[in-house]
Amino acid sequence: MGIQQVLFLLVLSVTAYLAYRHYHRVYKNIFLGKPKTINDRPSERWKNVLLVAFGQKKMFKNMIPAVFHLFIYIAFLFTQVELIEIIIDGIFGQHRIFSGVLGGWYTLLINLIEILSFLALVATFIFLYRRNLLKIPRFVKSELNGWPRLDANIILFGEILLVTGIFTMNGADGLLQKLDPGHYPDTGVLFLSNAFGEMFLTNMTQDSLMTLERAGWWLHFLVVCGFILYLPFSKHFHIFLAFPNVYFAKLRPRGEMENMPAIMNEVKNMFGLPVEAENNPDVEPNLDFGAKDIFDLSWKNILDAYSCTECGRCTAVCPANLTGKKLSPRKILMDIRDRATEVGKNIDSGDLTFFNGEKPDGTSDFYKKHYQDGKNLFDYISREEIHACTTCNACVEACPVLIDPLEPILELRRYEILSESAGPPDWVPMFTAMENGGSVWQMSDEREKWRTEI
């Protein structure tokens, strides 16, 4: 076993170990939320996954960025074949092991990967231009200041390095196949990388070409390893989470609000109707209304937050935001994700002062009852933001991965109004009129008096 093979196995093992820790941490953060059962209409859910997650259906409402995003997306899918080959070669000390297995299909596949990689490179430069020079309004909102803006650029520069590694490796390899055919299997004519090699590398010695080929090979592999470790800290985690998020997305009409089981049971009890079973995991056993922290949201709400692409399509169509109000649906999701990350970090610290000295049992119910750090979601999301929402569902319609920013906004409102008896002063007359007369308008007569006059 050579030194390169040992080094490869070491890097691969460390990456796998660290990746497990980071991804498992996000998994635990998501399930800090309340239990929620989502298992209805599976065929329709799989259809959404195929059309929306794999097929990028909703992206094409904005055609130009959708086409360029498609280049990067398809290139990402196909380059996994080359990555698998690199991993197998690295583990077993081989070189282009698929070339002997696939024959002519290998040439076709690598040519396709190179064409897609080139198109992805073009799309990457266009996206850098759109974000940093063209300054499209949804990319320059205040919630993207600092890390979010840097995060968006880091992944684009990573894409440039990845494509650089592919063409350096393949270009040098094409020339080495002529110089040392015994060690470098014939891959056939690779149009783009062969042209790159002939243009820039023909005057290099064999040793230099070997070094360059290995440099491209390692660059490709190390960028992928860095990408895997980076994802849990990035908005680009949607590359993985978009698929389960789309599967578990709501299927009911967007204008239909979700009832609060505790209140529904009270109303049904008043009318002598059967109430929902107490052992239903989705029915709250107490009379807590709405949400003040992530423990009061469902795990699906937190999954939404971690799946957010920060593309800003929701904020771009929000009528409240467009009229100058403070609300940004994208910021709401980013705040929920930041709060979940903060709470998860505090829990992982093992500091029992967050639980009044009690030892956690690892359940979301325990954390909801005992976790305390002096903050909640209202420290991230202002009252002004949630009051500005018109519940028009424009943000829900716009999201390319079926995220629902409206639900956590409504949950925060419900907590403020029903648990704190607070809310905007302008809303109080409306609530009073609803309670006394069954109408949002204050009328001297009962709402249904007209029925008795027929």
| 242 belongs to a structural domain | yes
Same domain, 333 and 400: yes
What are the pLDDT digits (tens) for 417-444? Answer: 888 888 888 888 888 887 777 777 777 6
pTM summary value? 0.89
Same domain, 334 and 185: no
Task: Place 284 in a pLDDT band, splitting at 50, 70 and 90.
Answer: very low
What are the pLDDT digits (tens) for 50-81? Answer: 999 999 999 998 888 899 999 999 999 999 99
**How many angstroms separate the CA atoms of 200 and 154, rounded?**
27
Do 172 and 209 form a contact (C-beta atoms < 8 A)? yes
Residues contacting residue 447 through CB under 8 Å, at least 6 positions apart: 437, 438, 439
Same domain, 308 and 366: yes
| 355 belongs to a structural domain | yes
Same domain, 149 and 243: yes
Q: 3-class DSSP state for residue 298?
A: strand
Percent residues over pLDDT 70 in the chain: 95
**Which of 317, 313, 310 lies closest to 337, judged by CA?**
310
Give the pair of three-digit tokens for residue 65. Answer: 């960025």
Q: Of 244 and 445, which is predicted with more confidence?
A: 244
| 439 belongs to a structural domain | no
Same domain, 168 and 306: no
Same domain, 204 and 302: no
| 283 belongs to a structural domain | no
- Tally of structural domains, the chain: 2
Listed range (252-266, 299-313, 393-407) with the worst mean pLDDT: 252-266
| 430 belongs to a structural domain | no
Same domain, 376 and 311: yes
**How many angstroms separate the CA atoms of 304 and 30, rounded?**
9
| 385 belongs to a structural domain | yes
Q: 3-class DSSP state for residue 34?
A: strand
Q: What is the pLDDT of residue 283?
A: 47
**How many angstroms separate the CA atoms of 1 and 10, rounded?**
13
The mean per-residue pLDDT over the stretch 371-398 comes to 94
Same domain, 322 and 214: no
CATH number at residue 382: 1.10.1060
Whether 257 has a pLDDT exceeding 70, the answer reads yes
Give the pair of three-digit tokens for residue 403. Answer: 């995220």
| 13 belongs to a structural domain | yes
| 163 belongs to a structural domain | yes
How many CB atoms are located within 10 Å of the residue 205 CB?
9
For residue 367, give its domain range.
290-421
Same domain, 188 and 298: no
